[in-house]
Amino acid sequence: GNKLLFKNADGIEIGSKTLSDAEVKKIGDALDETTKSSFANKNLGEVLKQQGLTLEEFNKLRLTDVSQLTNDEKALLKMIRESIPMPDSNTLMQKVIPASDVQKYLDGTYTQIGGFVTRAEDVTQLKTYDDIYNSLRLDYPDTAYDIVSDDTLAVIRYNTNETSKIQIPYSSEMGGVTTGADPFTGNGFTKATNGQIIPEYKMSDFARIEDGAQLIEIGKDGKETLKAIYDVDFGRFVPIE
């Protein structure tokens, strides 16, 4: 059957619940419909089934201010987040940058990656400017993005060998050290309210990127334009002529 146990971070049972077959199917259907990301499709449905959580219950947890969660709820959310393998040097990562930063990468002013990043496979379903803006919650205080006036943003798809700098951005309530104003969640997921479930990471420091990384401009309509490729010999992005 679908009788499932809630366990805390130490594996101690803290309650149990039975999901009907219909509820289990509903999780799968909902994930297929709304989130085409790798994590949502490969990991999340299975983990929610193991924990006896519906998708609705998980999203409520994900979108609740962590300061309002019980210790058991925090442990559950953390366990779900940590079911996702940490990136390694073979993991294609993605960093979103505002249009205003593109020239700085093209002229060699910027050559490394910092700040918030995702695994590329968790955001392949985000095609347009608005998809990316809303799913990654780029409406943070003093944001460099303007969903009304911007024509484009850009992404860097890259690998790095400095994977020890990639961390889950937990706030102090979740046992971490990352701080940030709303819409930062502190629970390792973005505060997307559009049906997307996006695990996020944060660089503890700027990281070098590997040969062949791509700098891609993305328009409001989702059109991608390859602008430059990282050349490790030059130590910078080389514009595509």
164-184 per-position pLDDT tens digit: 999 999 999 999 999 999 999
pTM: 0.85
| pLDDT score of 11 | 44
pLDDT band at 4 (very low <50, low <70, confident <90, very high): very low
Confidence of residue 12 (pLDDT cuts 50, 70, 90): very low
What separation, in Å, do the N-terminal and C-terminal C-alpha atoms of the chain show?
59
DSSP helix/strand/coil, 55? helix
List all residues 6 or more positions away from 166 whose beta carbon is below 8 Å from its beta carbon.
86, 87, 93, 117, 160, 201, 202, 203, 204, 207
Interatomic CA distance for residues 200 and 191, integer angstroms: 10
Note whether 188 and 122 are within 8 A (CB): no
105-153 pLDDT, tens digit per residue, is 999 999 999 999 999 999 999 999 999 999 999 999 999 999 999 999 9
